[in-house]
Amino acid sequence: MTADTAPVTETAPAKINLCLHVTGQRADGYHRLDSLVCFTGLGDRVTVRPAKGLSLRITGPFAAGLSAEDNLVLRAARLFGSDRGAAITLDKVLPVASGIGGGSADAAATLRALSRLWGLPRPDDVLSLGADVPVCLSPELQRMQGVGEVLTPLGPAPMLDMLLVNPGVTLATPRVFAGLARRDNAPLGPDMPDPFDTAAWIGWLAEQRNDLEAPALKLAPEIGTVLAALRAQDGCLLARMSGSGATCFALFADDAARDAAGAALRAQYPGWWVAETDEAPV
């Protein structure tokens, strides 16, 4: 296989909103956010190969029910405006519509992969693909503001042990936002400690919020069960819902505590999706 025909693979890591404050709403309906975003060692995979036209094949445990016809991955590919082709494979290992940026991360991985395959710069107008796509282009810890276009890189995230849990519920993001009691909440608190000062940083995170958690709980009370179960596990330092739900995350003191919690939750709730990972892509 020559370099010209070699496939290119990019990982689409799960995006975790460690905190998410809704600070306003624009006249066009888009919400202003203030969020701290990190990425994990767990994610989907996008592989692209040279081809005459654009095509998408979806594999993996969460491929069922996803359409390849109008998938965000193909929209990302078309954003290049190129007449070049690619056969794209999306290996879907993250739950769909679950608050961890799966579709947006897939689109961002497609942009990175095709940029490498075709030798073209990434398109500028990635925000047109969705508010979460710009933040997913880089695996750094980032502060995301505005409607997703104002990004402040904060450097690498600490390699903290994390457990992701979804109760098997899908939530439509617009429905969650529609249930907000107010849209002019306070932004993130000032003076965020160094993320590598683990105790101080997690203490600061605990003082922040996910403003979408309350409306999501009304739509899917199972989220409350997940959060209570995570917080009851030995070694849990912080548990919170990510994004618009229903996936929740928990940070643990070490990998042994995380793994024990994962095993316990799988045994007690066999219908839940439970995944161990790190709070940093690998």
Q: What are the residues whose beta carbons fall under 8 Å from the beta carbon of 240, sequence distance 6 or more?
A: 18, 19, 210, 213, 227, 248, 249
The first and second tokens of residue 11, run together, are 């990982």
Active-site residue set: 15, 132
104 Ramachandran zone, left/alpha/beta (phi>0; psi -120 to 50): alpha
Q: What is the sign, positive or negative, of the torsion defined by CA atoms of 108, 112, 115, 121?
A: positive
Run of H or E including 14: strand 8-25
Burial of 69 (0-12, 13-18, 19+ CB in 10 A): exposed
At residue 261, the 3 state secondary structure works out as helix
Closest among 246, 8, 11, 173 to 106, alpha carbons compared = 11
Burial of 68 (0-12, 13-18, 19+ CB in 10 A): middle
